[in-house]
Structure 1
Amino acid sequence: MPRWIAFVVGLVAATVLMLHVRRYPVLTYDDAFISLRYAQRLLDGHGLTWTEGPPVEGYSNLLWVLGCALLAAAGVDLLEAPVVLGISSAIATIASLIYAFPPRTWVESVPAFTGAMFIALAGPIGLWAVAGLEGCLVAALLAWSFVLLRPLLDGKTDDWKSVLAPSIPLALLCLSRPDAPLFIVIICAFLLLRSRSLQAAARAVALGLLPGLVTLAQVVFRLAYYGDWLPNTARAKVAFTAARLESGTQCVASAGLSSYALWVPALFALYVAWRDPSRRPRILLGLTLVAGWTSYTATVACQPYGFRMLIPSYVLLAFVVAEALDWVQAHGRAAQTGAWLLSVTLLSAFGWAQQAEKNIVLAREQRPPVTELAATIGNTLREAFGDRDPLLAVDAAGAIPFYSGLRSIDMLGLNDAHIARHRSESFGQGIQGHELGDGAYVLSREPDIIVANRLGSGRLAFVGGREIETDPRFDQDYRRVLMHGDHPVPTDFYAFCRLEGRIGIERSDESVRIPGYLFADGKGTRAQTDGTKPLGARFERFSEATLEGVELPAGTWRFTPVGDGAFELSARPLSTGARPVRLREDAVLVLAESSVLDVTVTASPPALLVEVFAERVAN
């Protein structure tokens, strides 16, 4: 009978979780695609790398990357792997609470039911079960570690297996996040302080041995493979400043306001710990871990979107509340009834507050998600230029590089070792992960395409973008192009494209090919394709489209527009200050010396300009 009760409780909580999860679009967080790009390149035989060149550790969730890659290797679509792993981890977290508080009767199932339902209703867990990063995996590993620690905490066993059992999920936890060793330090210190014998102290130290060895092994791997002892993400994000502490405290406070129905009863557990010595170690360790992790998060890493970094605190508080309810229900039938009434009240308040939290609402209601729009940008760039192997520079290093499959530069430094070390004196005062940049370095790499901000804005953004805009090479070498893509959702975006190079003007001794898309300046034209022709400039109204700064050597040149529609061409040599020369079918342009031209194309819709072909007919 108790097993059936546990099964039903788990089924109810898992059903609520799935209904909750369905409210969120999947893979909504751009950084999730950084992990997926590492997984994809690992599967393709390129190792744990984000792009070609020296490898950089731009992830902070090794086990998650490997888990996604393993699922994909087993036949799961790579884009579905994070969802499968996230939901499975959330269900495993629910299972841990039911295992820790096995219901003996229906009436006595309130601790298991309440703890499991807190997990199922928690906004961060519902969101991150499908948003694409490791939050729920961390939750599951921490939850099962906490469950398997109970024999050690209760002092009911001298078996060394009781040390090995929790050390395995704790070791895996250290592979899930580079900051997870904080949990191990707190747990081992707690056990050491409670130890009353050398054997108990030895078990406390031994508990941290396997997680410590795993952490050390990852550091050795990091040094050997990436040439650094810290993840590159830490160099690009972590700063201990008053500004970070202030924003982190505000983030924690915001999460606290929407989860009062969880942490307020957790405070009651302190009274339970005072009254019941047998429960005291479990409650005090749980609250100590909550305090330690929440303080760390407030200092270093709290981001309001979905409160991913606070998921461990939600899980531990659910255990503490379940422990308190287990104590309450042990005091007779009336107490059991009161526990159920309290449980229903708390869960109702918690569920409502979670769904009303503005940062959860933002993730739930943003349709289409930013990552779907970014997917269109990536797909468009891949279809247009993938066969030419261009170099792409981006601010958003997730979905656009992932879907494009192009060699890339991360202009914010998460996946670039040089930029991550290029800190200014004001580092730590701005938005975490968006403070770095080195415009001169990016331009020295000569990227063929630059996509600014999250979705290809018309102005370059952040530190590196502002530096690029003031660099004379940018005005000379790049042109802003308005592009359009349709898959998976229709999207217009700007890209800054290099005039010369892999996707730019093609030259030979006697001819010059100017790609039509370079004329798509957004003033009546945009770059797109009809599916049968290369990317070109689509004229959406009668307009003139001018491409400035086209260099031609001396000679007599005949210009021919290539595409669908009627076009008129004109060119104006800038060096002579001459008036524009209309280039009709038989007209030629005579250049006595090498010149820089402004080339203008005039057309009416629905003309599509694929290229302008210039042929030298005489020297």
Structure 2
Amino acid sequence: MTAARPSRRLIIAGCLVGVFLVGTWAAWFFTIDDAWITFRYSANLADGHGPVWNPSGDPVEGFTNFAWMLWHAPFAWLGLDLPTVAKFTSFAIGLGILGMLLRAAHRAAGIPGALVAAGCYVLFLPTYFHITAGLETVAFAAVVLRSAIIGVRVLGGRPVRDWEPPVLVLVAGMLRPEGVLAALPAFGVWFWRARRRRAARWWVLGVLAAGAGYFLWRWSYYGYPLPNTFYVKFGNLGAGLTWVLETGPLFVPLILLTLSLLVRGTTRPVGGLLCAVVAATYLTYAVSGPSMDYLHRFAFHAFPVLCLGGGLALTGIARRGLVAGMAVVPLLWTAVAGATTAGLPVVANYGPDLRRAHVAIGEGLDVARVPDEFRTLAVSDAGAIPYYSGWRSVDYIGLNNEAIAHGADPTSLVRAARPTVLVVTSGTPRVPDAKYGLRVSEAAPGYAHVAAVHMRADYWQHVLVRPEWADQVRSAVGGTVHAAQRKYDPGRYELTIDRWLDRLRGQLPGL
């Protein structure tokens, strides 16, 4: 009997890892445009300019993931492809999350608990798009989960290394500014138990000093206490309520199972801790309504903690029928909710769409015969286009522009800058009168329209150029766009799951 149990655990773990590998492969082509914002800062840091948007400009913090940006800088210095580095990093961390869920849930609730915790994680289709997106989403979720597991260990009377809880708070805060809140509940549980140990106090003081130094340096270097993006994206209470109402139904069974831990006295402390971690993680988003929340990206930050709560809810339940019901419902619900979530057709096809539009435009600008002093660009999608072009860029949405983020008129700012190239997003093959606060005709009088690049259904990028450089940009961008349009899903722009599945079938011989 004892020999069979490890074998069964290995079979279950092997099946879950297999699902994880297939899911990651299916989403591998996806990279979100925002990831290239971070990569541009990493590349500039690697080149010796510091973590800046434009090497010659005033420092602006147009990213919210300082540690993630820092991680990619050495790879940029080595000349490696940063999206690939980000994908493999998140893949390794994602496997780590799977291992943490299996181990922690199995220890408390046996195989059924491990199956629920790890099964919900691997069956949730958005998991894989967050792994391959290029952002810090999975890394941050791993830190939040590890923090919660540390708290569970403390409540169970098991030993914890004194350095780990305070360091997790620091890493969480450097991955995302609101991360400190997410890691605080578990840290508080640990410190209350460890407060009399000298080593614990020294670690806390050391991390406090490091965190304060990092925060003060950021404030001094960038001029504001929070990243520039917070002033653009956060603070909308109505949007926060909408976010809560849209996110809640996605995880109903896992939320209920986690709350059920509060009912029984034996699991109440653990349930209280996990609920506190989830609430602290979601608090910022619930009062602000984050934008760019593709496939519930911000909800994913505490999703593994909810998976753990669902698994731990099976602790001590002896009735097999009840255990089976408590296991099947969250597994099926999470799988169906993830596969039917809004925005999946857009994201599933986003990779080739971005390659044949944004990346192609950026690569075309890079090879255009325009002197360095005239390589200036204004753009709303401030990711792949500025990154691949290498041009000095005005982000007229304001993520990477302090003046616009704090209320300046984008039209006046772009008109004053008079960039050589202006890229305007549109839902039609025609240049819009206004977009994202930019009044196009006022911002670019006399500019030549050299390209209308089709990205996907109802999404175009229009390239406008100062007349003296129109021929050079038209030729270069036209060539790279033409090649990309022929290579990536040629002739297909519809937003359907079928297009994604057809692409995957094309990668498998004999299908």
- The alpha carbon displacement at 1:341 in A equals 4.8
Distance 1:207 1:454 in 2: 52
Aligned to 1:217: 213
Measured against aligned partners, the alpha-carbon deviations of 1:470-525 in whole angstroms (never above 9, x if no partner) come to: 36xx32x4232236699xxxx9842221235xx36xxxxxxxxxx4878x9xxxxx
* Larger Rg over CA atoms: 1
Equivalent position to 1:308, from 297, 304, 307: 297
Aligned to 1:43: 46
Distance 2:480 2:117 in 1: 55
Q: Is 1:495 the counterpart of 2:495 in the alignment?
A: no
Local SS of the residue matching 1:393: strand
CA contact (8 A) 2:19 2:122 kept: yes
Q: Equivalent residues in 2 for 1:39-438 (5 A)?
A: 39-52=42-55, 53-72=57-76, 76-102=80-106, 108-156=110-158, 162-188=161-187, 199=196, 209=205, 211-239=207-235, 244-271=236-263, 274-276=264-266, 279-303=267-291, 304-328=293-317, 331=318, 335-336=319-320, 338-366=322-350, 368-370=352-354, 372-385=356-369, 387-388=371-372, 389-422=374-407, 437-438=409-410
Q: Is 1:15 the counterpart of 2:18 in the alignment?
A: yes
Distance 2:441 2:365 in 1: 22
The residue type paired with residue 463 of structure 2 is A
Aligned to 1:442: 414
CA contact (8 A) 1:42 1:49 kept: yes
- The alpha carbon displacement at 1:5 in A equals 5.5
CA contact (8 A) 1:245 1:300 kept: yes
Measured against aligned partners, the alpha-carbon deviations of 1:443-486 in whole angstroms (never above 9, x if no partner) come to: 212211110127996225435412x5336xx32x4232236699
Point out where structure 2 has 5 or more consecutive residues left out of the alignment: 482-511
Distance 1:225 1:79 in 2: 27
Aligned to 2:441: 469
CA contact (8 A) 1:152 1:163 kept: no
CA contact (8 A) 1:58 1:232 kept: yes
Question: Which structure has more RCO (C-alpha within 8 Å, separation ≥ 6)?
Answer: 2
Local SS of the residue matching 1:480: strand
Percent identical among aligned pairs is: 24
Distance 2:223 2:480 in 1: 46
CA contact (8 A) 2:361 2:480 kept: no
The count of aligned residue pairs is 471
Measured against aligned partners, the alpha-carbon deviations of 1:399-423 in whole angstroms (never above 9, x if no partner) come to: 1111111111111111112222226
Task: Give TM-score, length-normalised by structure 2.
Answer: 0.81
CA contact (8 A) 1:56 1:417 kept: yes
- The alpha carbon displacement at 1:270 in A equals 2.4
Cα 1:403–1:224 change in 2 (3 A) is: same
Distance 2:25 2:167 in 1: 32
Quick check: which one's strand share is greater? 1
Point out where structure 1 has 5 or more consecutive residues left out of the alignment: 424-436, 505-514, 521-525, 532-619
Distance 1:205 1:113 in 2: 38
Distance 1:178 1:336 in 2: 44
Structure 1 runs, 4 residues or longer, greater than 6 Å off: 202-207, 454-457
Distance 1:178 1:392 in 2: 29
Local SS of the residue matching 2:287: helix
CA contact (8 A) 1:386 1:406 kept: no
Cα 1:221–1:283 change in 2 (3 A) is: same
Q: Equivalent residues in 2 for 1:535-614 (5 A)?
A: none
Cα 1:207–1:263 change in 2 (3 A) is: farther
Task: Give TM-score, length-normalised by structure 1.
Answer: 0.68
The residue type paired with residue 386 of structure 2 is P
Local SS of the residue matching 1:325: coil
Measured against aligned partners, the alpha-carbon deviations of 1:77-120 in whole angstroms (never above 9, x if no partner) come to: 3220111112112111111112323459xx93121222111211
Local SS of the residue matching 1:481: strand
Measured against aligned partners, the alpha-carbon deviations of 1:287-320 in whole angstroms (never above 9, x if no partner) come to: 1221232232121243442111111221211111
Cα 1:379–1:268 change in 2 (3 A) is: same
Distance 1:147 1:449 in 2: 50
- The alpha carbon displacement at 1:178 in A equals 1.0
Root mean square deviation, CA, Å: 3.4
Distance 2:202 2:355 in 1: 44
Local SS of the residue matching 1:450: strand
CA contact (8 A) 1:188 1:208 kept: no
Equivalent position to 1:479, from 419, 436, 448: 448
Cα 1:529–1:324 change in 2 (3 A) is: closer
Distance 2:323 2:213 in 1: 46
CA contact (8 A) 2:137 2:297 kept: yes
Local SS of the residue matching 1:451: strand
Q: Is 1:459 the counterpart of 2:432 in the alignment?
A: yes
Local SS of the residue matching 1:380: helix
Quick check: which one's helix share is greater? 2
Distance 1:325 1:5 in 2: 18
Local SS of the residue matching 1:528: helix
Measured against aligned partners, the alpha-carbon deviations of 1:13-40 in whole angstroms (never above 9, x if no partner) come to: 2221222233335344211110111122
Q: Equivalent residues in 2 for 1:520-539 (5 A)?
A: 528-529=478-479
Distance 2:40 2:329 in 1: 44
- The alpha carbon displacement at 1:135 in A equals 0.8
Cα 1:461–1:382 change in 2 (3 A) is: farther
The residue type paired with residue 32 of structure 1 is A
The residue type paired with residue 225 of structure 2 is W
Aligned to 1:523: none
- The alpha carbon displacement at 1:337 in A equals 5.8
Distance 1:226 1:358 in 2: 36
CA contact (8 A) 2:38 2:69 kept: yes
Q: Is 1:29 the counterpart of 2:17 in the alignment?
A: no
